[in-house]
Amino acid sequence: MSKGSGRLALLLSGRGSNLGAFLRAQQTGQLQGSVEAVISNRPDAAGLKIARDAGIATATVDHTLYESREAFDEVLAQKIDGFEPDVIVLAGFMRILTANFVDRFRGRLINIHPSLLPKYRGLNTHQRALDAGECEGGATVHFVTADLDEGPGILQTPVPIEDGDTAASLANRVLPFEHQLYPHAANLVLTGQVSLSKRGAVWNDEILPPGGQIWKPNCQ
């Protein structure tokens, strides 16, 4: 598997579909870095097997063994530090992180959210977009801050809403775009093209809009 200069650690809780997208991007040379570690809060997460099969180091920090979020986050942070990643990718990691954890990795911690932020933070994003009569949904990659889904956007990709769409059909159509968007956005952070400042996300010295730069894959 080809490797770039940047080191990624992925945090996941489930099936690992975003991990699969990163590994495909790495194999094709589209990812300008390498996935060095996959860490899960669930010992039975399917994504751990994907990582092991790909020869990637794995670790588990079982959240059920800790009495507080703070205690869990401290152990998780220590585990991450052991792998010395340049960027930490939340890839379906189903835990709300404490402010201390987020501050520790400020500017290196990114997440993907299934809406065009700043619209529809939180859950049930696709249904809420449909209920509001939106003409498009999409996904946004953003820096993680202490406020849920409110970190500055890096890239976002719009996906048209079609007649008869349900939340499930829209989610299924957005997912392949997420899988292209996420490694592309990670590249921008890995290579230093995009960074986090007090004013927001910065791309080549220019402050990005709150939701980030609009990006469309070549196949769209």
Check: CB of residue 129 under 8 Å from CB of residue 159.
no
Backbone angles phi, psi at 38, to 5 degrees: -125, 125
Residues in the chain: 220
> Of 63, 113, 126, 179, which residue is the catalytic one?
113
Using CA atoms, how far apart are residues 89 and 178, in angstroms rounded to an integer? 13
Catalytic residue status for 179: no
Retrieve residue 8's tokens.
Answer: 């990624």
Q: Strands 57-60, 109-113: parallel, antiparallel or unpaired by DSSP?
A: unpaired
Short-list 59, 33, 45, 76, CA closest to 188 = 33
Retrieve residue 88's tokens.
Answer: 């930490």
Using CA atoms, how far apart are residues 49 and 12, in angstroms rounded to an integer? 12
- Coil, helix or strand for 151? coil
Q: Which residues are catalytic?
A: 113
